[in-house]
Amino acid sequence: METTSATAKIINPQEKQIVYKTSDLDLWYGDNQALKKINLDIMENEVTAIIGPSGCGKSTYIKTLNRMIELVPGVRTSGEILYRGKNILDKSYQVEELRTKVGMVFQKPNPFPKSIYENVAYGPKIHGIRDKKILDQIVEKSLRGAAIWDEVKDRLNQNAYGLSGGQQQRLCIARCLAIEPDVILMDEPTSALDPISTLKVEELVQELKKEFSIIIVTHNMQQAARISKKTAFFLNGEVVEFSETNKIFSTPEDKRTEDYITGRFG
């Protein structure tokens, strides 16, 4: 299943398409190399987890997938990341367009200091949708999709900061859904939440994977085992192992993977 050129698409229609194909990706923060020759194929409509100890490069990697890493000064990359066949690292690729198809949920919930309605409507509005009726529909659909509609439908005009941490994170997911993306990137989305909210978000992820491709970075190995189909183990900026989740957690091929999973380090 190899692409023959940077713009050709995957040819076998019976199989799931590759949504992200990373080829020989290197990344430097100044002189420090944070990612070394990353090669990874991520499939659509699945949950792919990225695990690894602190500082292994997993957050860095997920931020290259929507080019948020560019916000860090002094970042250099080489290699290719093909999103549905197009190289997103190419200078001519419009990053704003990429981010309408690839949404991101951050570790600490970061709703805007606006009303709940305005938070969700932000995405569609900046992309030019003005019609209030359409915006109302998008807001309701997204809040339902994030399993938070019933909790907030009577207070859409209240400030988002009045919500609890778990609710704010689901609001951020709703905000993501409002632009109808293709892929949702999640950078440790439940590490700042209590166990009940964590469970709610995990259930949400299982629902969302039917429609979206989800890539989730997590510190919590049990979470990766619970919700993902494939898992990639990162260590020191390299992909040590990448395979089906139940295989990695039962019979890992690499000894370093086994050591991490059994808790010998990390």
Partner 1 sequence: MNLINHESVVKRMKSRLSKNSFSKWTFFALTMFVLLILGVLLYRIFSQGLGYLDLQFLQSLPSRKPENAGVYAALIGTIWLMAVVAPVSLLLGVGTAIYLEEYAKDNMITNFIKVNISNLAGVPSIVFGLLGLTIFVRAFALGTSVLAAGLTMSLLVLPVIIVASQEAIRAVPNQLREASFGIGATKWQTIVRIVLPAAIPGILTGGILALSRAIGETAPLVVLGMPLFLAFLPKTFLDSMTVLPLQIYNWTGRPQVEFHALAAAGIIVLLVMLIIMNSIAVLIRNKFQKRY
What are the two backbone dihedrals, phi and then psi, of residue 203, each rounded to the nearest 5 degrees? -60, -40
Could you tell me the smallest distance in angstroms from the CB atom of residue 160 to partner 1?
A: 10
Residue ranges of E strands in the chain? 18-29, 32-43, 47-51, 75-83, 86-87, 102-105, 183-187, 213-217, 230-235, 238-244
Buried b (16+ CB within 10 A) or exposed e, 228-241: bebbbbbbebbbbb
Tell the smallest beta-carbon distance from residue 135 to partner 1 (Å). 14
CB of 100 to partner 1, least distance (A): 4
Tell the smallest beta-carbon distance from residue 185 to partner 1 (Å): 9
Chain residues in the site for partner 1 (CB under 8 A): 66, 68, 71, 73, 96-100, 103-104, 106, 108, 110-113, 122-123, 126-127, 159, 161, 172, 175-176, 179
Beta strands in 182-237 (DSSP E): 183-187, 213-217, 230-235
Complex with partner 1: residue 56 or 176, whichever CB lies closer: 176
